[in-house]
Structure 1
């Protein structure tokens, strides 16, 4: 398998900056908590050791005071009593004579060491060893008589305390990390929701809904200020675009009347004159005027479509019927041009929109394919139901096609490929197609047909 086969697509939220900020927030918070608990653990460990040393010192001092006050026999009774009462693996006691013989206690005789020291030993009960050896902390003292007294505590008790604190620390750290992550995710989710609102609005504006604006939350924070500035910028851009569009529409509208008057004069002159050369010039001028009037008419029609006023007339209609009508009309045109025309239209595909505009859009696409394909080329038209039952239309040819770098430009007004500048046309046919598609929320995709061009309409 290739490397892409095993790739895993992470959920969208996981790939957001807000989620990364939440992870960073949780990591910093967890590290701070770890440092705090590490310090606490060290202090508890030190405190436990200090307490054990202090406890041994107090107990040895009490026994020495008992010896000073009541003598060796009383000390032996006290040590024996404490040894019998002590747990076998918790507290150790030893009283031995100068010869190293045990007088009392629950551990075997040992070397007489003074002060604090550690030693591995085993407890004795009833003359027998009880339990395994354990490491204990002892405090020893040599009596004036040469006898030796030692009291010890098993270090495992201190280790148990450290283990308990460590377990509490690990559990608390895990809970803290989860809470920090949850808090970061909640905070990030709110941030993402506001960014999503901005992105959705921007997407709709890019899609042609220029009146859309970013909603404000009323918090007057940085995002609200950014949204307000973006809205003001969009208002300014829309005003400029409307001004430019109005100028072009006014020019197209105002020039139609004098051009129409000029056309009528040329027609009257053509009817009156008998000069063949003058007649030819007049006919050529009439063709040019008709072309200009057609350009103005296309501009005005595109402007009308872009206002969105035609949406009020949207109705349910049979989209298959529109495709069949266009295929019947242009099948004969393709035959006259010695081209092959193929149609594959699925019956009964419904749509809601403007039937007249859809007819014009499809006619422009088919006419564009026929016009720019040579004799012997094949032009095909297809309509089918896509995912979810949504219509999918295709107009394809095996002509010269459109270079990939120019596919996004062909829908601009007056844009023409360099090779087509010598042919008839005004460069507005595909602009009208784009306007109708935008009005109906149809996504147009230009793809390579290998060879030729394929225009996909996703309703």
Structure 2
């Protein structure tokens, strides 16, 4: 089924990177707003507090002066009017309004409408408008209105133009500062989403090419070392492994067909002869030969299944602490006599009490395959030497060396593949699975195995 892998705006805003970027910008803006509001309210409280203190002090002076005048004249209305007149002469930046309950102005320097007076109680900030004229230099005033004992209303206010201008300034600063921040944040969301989505689509498109059969494709790295580079590196390693396995499968298929053709052809030949020669003298030999060919095919499949089982890691549950020294000594004792019958010698240098974690049976099989290879392929008079040692870091190393013909350097990696035999004519016995089994066991245990030149001969080095 075809899949649309073209980046669109809708895809951008649906990406997790876009959401994360949006959350980051939102949190940043929210934090900035909190700071802005804290600073604004702190500044506002300071300015208003200073204005309110000045108004309350002026109100107290007006009332105390009026009380003094009332004591002399016994006329409260006249005393309040006189006190306000004195206050207006002494303070040029303060506004006063003494009115009747119905809004009629009795004294002061502020022309305030009756409707405003009757609706106003307590503290209020008044902004200049048509029905509330202020001097040219004043845009706002802040004051308090209260009712006097005789029912009149007294309003005293201070010039609040600076506070009003501060509010406008803060509003403009907010728009100038946070407007671009929000726009840059949105742009940042889109850029992050675009970058992420492009990398995802690149990986997806390359994956589709691989699905369509091009196993050579790999995901390019941009060199940033980010999570996408890390993911791409791992994906490329997986693709390398898949390509190697598929190549191995192809090679295995070819080798199986080649290796099974001979025993199956011989089996058919023996069965044909058995059918033609149904006498008791020849028939047992023909049947024995047929059984031998069947056993050869079965052993081949058994080795392949064993390698597959090991590569799948099915035996890791059997890992335990084993005595490597005892395993190697037992190997030497077993194959010393076998090698001697073939004109070869097995010697060893193995320190005691070497312990490792692993599967005893599989490790025995690994070392047996290596030693048997040396015995089978080396000429008479060859010395096979098995040595174990411990490095300063506690790692164990087992080296199995011989002074035989060795393996050409160009073939040392290849011989660990399945059905790889350096004997192209395949005259010598063997299936080419021995070293493949060795490599599978070493990989399962996390060991490294290297073939080196022993000048002359071969040295197999296994680090654990």
TM-score band, normalised by the shorter chain? 0.3 to 0.5
TM-score (norm: length of structure 1)? 0.44
TM-score (norm: length of structure 2)? 0.44
